[in-house]
A and B are shown apart, each in its own frame.
Chain A
Amino acid sequence: MINEVVQDEVPATGTVRRPRGRAIVVTSGKGGVGKTTTTANIGTALAVLGNTVVMVDADVGLRNLDIVLGLEARVRHHVLDVLEGKSTIEDALVSDKRVPKLRLLAAAQTREKDDVDTAAFRDLIGSLRDRFDFVLIDCPAGIEKGFVNAIAGADEAIVVCTPEVSAVRDADRVVGLLGDDRTVQLIVNRLRPALVRKGKMLSVEDVNDILHLPLLGVIAEAPDVIVSTNRGQPVALDPASEVGEAYRTIARRITGQDTAAPEIPREKTLFGKLFGGRS
């Protein structure tokens, strides 16, 4: 019943003439900086805003986007099934009861990144762009085949970076590999304003003095994210969460509905308020 309702939200292939959707790859180079969480939340927030969104997990062999979204029990087919003709795109797309305009195309868990043909993957992203407003690609860590595949069909990139030397160095490398033909924007993830004030953590300004990228948003380190991932409920769906609001703001910036400069999270303590968050 829900599935039928859901299916009406996203037009089937070739039924509607529409402008091509935007293909955005979420990447970082370094692992563990929050690419999957970022993809899940931005995709969810974009869909809540009324856009049709498909998230593609390009991390073949280490699939996680499904579990972060809480959709792991609904995955029947994956990207490689589609590429190898074992499943149609329609059958492989997983819908989300909570967000009717959202779809997930899961990665294959038991295969390797080298099994994916770059040109075929690029074509798949291309055909998804004909059907959805946004195609969000969750890129694997590293700069090998998995990365090359993930960025192949994307004309935009979001680089996720935490305020750590290793993450910044890897982000710089990835920006170099993304080339000059893609729009590249930065999300600084897991910022801890209190540490920044004490001079114990790189600030957003420090990070961007080095990367020189347009800043799309800043996400503070918050327990909400851990809890929401435990539950498989994207924090972007939590109206009370500040981090959720930060993701929703990022989504509005992506669509152009919000044009204000991204807000840098501040400390929430009284002490922080009295003495300011700058250092």
Chain B
Amino acid sequence: MIEFFNRLFGREPSSRTAKERLKLVLLSDHLSLAPDVVEALKHDLLEVISRYVEVDAANVDVSFEQREKQIAMLANIPILGMQKRPSPPPASTNGSSKRRKAAANGQAVPRRRRRKRQPLPPAPQPQLVQSLAQPT
């Protein structure tokens, strides 16, 4: 009955608000607690973008921002110019040293985040690069 009135007046139960807030904050917590995952994401992101444009890798900034109802990933990637030819993606050397470091110091070992590496996508299509080069 109370729920009915709440719905009537467009007010959601506080337990639902609590759950939604928790989901958001935990997503944010997990991202900030997994710097290796964020690094890997950044690495892969650059890898893909670099196939099409030349980026200023030293000044890349990837961050996460908690908003009212969602978490947004903000990537600021300075572009130096167009890529003349698509270059093959370099081999990944990203490893998780956080667990080993923590274990060596006798600290609590952070939980291993399951991360599956996707196989690298097929070679980029030259036509796509051309079409991107066209000013819109």
Interface residues of A (CB under 8 A from B): 118-119, 143, 147-148, 151, 164-165, 168-169, 172-173, 175-180, 196, 198-203, 206, 209-210, 279
Cβ–Cβ < 8 Å partners of A147 in chain B: 108
Contact, CB under 8 Å: B33 / A176: yes
Contact, CB under 8 Å: A118 / B6: no
Cβ of B130 < 8 Å from any Cβ of A? no
Contact, CB under 8 Å: B23 / A210: yes
Extra 6 A-B pairs, beta carbons < 8 Å, given A177-B109, A178-B108, A210-B19: A147-B108, A176-B33, A177-B110, A199-B14, A200-B15, A202-B19
How many Å from the CB of A118 to the closest CB on chain B?
5
Given known A-B contacts A151-B108, A177-B108, A177-B111, A169 and B25 have beta carbons under 8 A apart: yes
Contact, CB under 8 Å: B22 / A168: yes
Contact, CB under 8 Å: B108 / A148: yes
Contact, CB under 8 Å: B111 / A199: no
How many Å from the CB of B104 to the closest CB on chain A?
13
Count of CB-CB pairs between chains A and B under 8 Å: 68
Contact, CB under 8 Å: A199 / B19: no
Contact of A148 among B19, B23, B106, B111 (CB under 8 A): B106
Cβ–Cβ < 8 Å partners of B19 in chain A: 202, 206, 209-210
Contact, CB under 8 Å: B29 / A199: no
0/1 interface trace, chain B 1-38, chain A, CB 8 Å (1 if under): 01100100000011110110111011001000100000
Cβ–Cβ < 8 Å partners of B76 in chain A: none
List 6 tightest A-B contacts by C-beta distance, closest first. A199-B13, A176-B111, A177-B108, A206-B19, A199-B15, A148-B108
Q: CA–CA, A199 to B112, complex, Å?
A: 35
Contact of A169 among B2, B29, B111 (CB under 8 A): B29
Cβ of B125 < 8 Å from any Cβ of A? no
Q: CA–CA, A88 to B111, complex, Å?
A: 36
Cβ–Cβ < 8 Å partners of B21 in chain A: 165
How many Å from the CB of B71 to the closest CB on chain A?
15
Provide a sorted-by-A list of 20 A–B residue pairs whose CB atoms are within 8 angstroms: A148-B106, A164-B18, A165-B21, A165-B25, A168-B22, A169-B22, A169-B29, A172-B26, A173-B33, A179-B108, A179-B110, A179-B111, A180-B111, A196-B15, A199-B3, A200-B14, A200-B15, A202-B19, A206-B18, A210-B19
Contacting A at CB under 8 A, from B21-79, are: 21-23, 25-26, 29, 33
The residue of chain B having its C-beta at the shortest distance from the C-beta of A180 within the complex is B112
Contact, CB under 8 Å: A176 / B110: yes
Contact of A198 among B2, B29, B33 (CB under 8 A): B2
Question: For B2, B13, B18, B33, which residue has the most chain A Cβ atoms within 10 angstroms?
Answer: B18
Cβ of B107 < 8 Å from any Cβ of A? yes
